[in-house]
Amino acid sequence: MQIGVVGCNGRVGKLVIEELISDNWDEHGLKLAGGLSRDSTNKDTNFFITDDEDELFEKSDVIIDFTLPEGTRNHVELAVKHKKTLIIGTTGLTQEDKTAIKTAAQETVIICSSNMSVGVNLLLSLVEQAAARLGTDWDIEIFESHHKYKVDAPSGTAIAIGKAAATGRGNSLTSLEDYNRHGHIGAREKGKIGFSVARGGDVVGEHTTFFYGEGERLELTHIATNRSLFAKGALRAAIWSEGKEAGLYSMRDVLDL
């Protein structure tokens, strides 16, 4: 299976390249087809690199995308054009982007997840179960912390956690979400799911879901200490995608959660 990496000079893109060059994935049949970079003039690499998107898509069986929403929009169109599997780890996607991805998935395999970590996706399952069993007498608050360069807030992972909690309660997040924690906001409304955000330093990613009950509190936490876990999760998704029918999948599908 030939893997192409768009945004190969990005934070996670570099890690995907490193994983594939390391030969750690040879036993799974994964090979690096090459990378896409806006600046491919630097040829001081030991792998194929291009600034021609069509060229990379043609050479690859699977494309891994940890870029920005504007890049991902184009990559979705190319995945349909070339009928190639696309694995999306991009965050900050709009509802319009998500609708376009869902439409494109009618033509090819797309695996889209705000977080490719195995641990985070297990956390989503646990949060959904806890929310379902504890009920609305327990207040839910989601806290997340990331490095100072992260541009979207709350993180895509925090929102995914909120959606899991809302699903556990048989509802949609849009009807329960509460981002307002400034000024005289009054007492907490029963059933709402609150969000808190911190940004600073080089934090890879921390997410905690608090379930506040009377006289007790449950905390479910995931802490990422190395971004390589996102690259490894994406490559695990690539292996799982082989032979799948066109459709939109998530890491929870990959992990059978």
Rounded to whole angstroms, how far apart are CA atoms 201 and 181? 23
Beta bridge pairs of residue 4: 34, 63
pLDDT in tens, the chain (257 residues): 999 999 999 989 999 999 999 988 999 999 999 999 877 555 557 889 999 999 999 999 999 999 999 999 999 999 999 999 999 999 889 999 999 999 999 999 999 998 899 999 999 999 999 999 999 999 999 999 999 999 889 998 999 999 999 999 999 999 999 997 788 888 999 999 999 999 999 999 999 999 999 999 999 999 999 989 999 999 999 999 999 999 999 998 999 98
3-class DSSP state for residue 96?
Answer: helix
Residue 130's H or E segment, with its range, is helix 118-134
Domain with CATH 3.30.360.10 in the chain: 118-224
Q: Which residues are marked as active site? A: 146, 150
- In terms of C-beta density within 10 A (0-12 exposed, 13-18 middle, 19 or more buried), how is residue 127 classed? buried
Domain with CATH 3.40.50.720 in the chain: 2-112+227-254
Architecture of the domain made up of 2-112+227-254: 3-Layer(aba) Sandwich (3.40)
Class of domain 118-224: alpha beta
Cα end-to-end distance, the chain, whole Å? 25
Sheet strands (E) in 147-213: 177-178, 193-199, 205-212
Q: In what order do the strands lie in the sheet containing 109-112?
A: 49-50, 31-36, 2-6, 62-65, 85-88, 109-112, 247-249
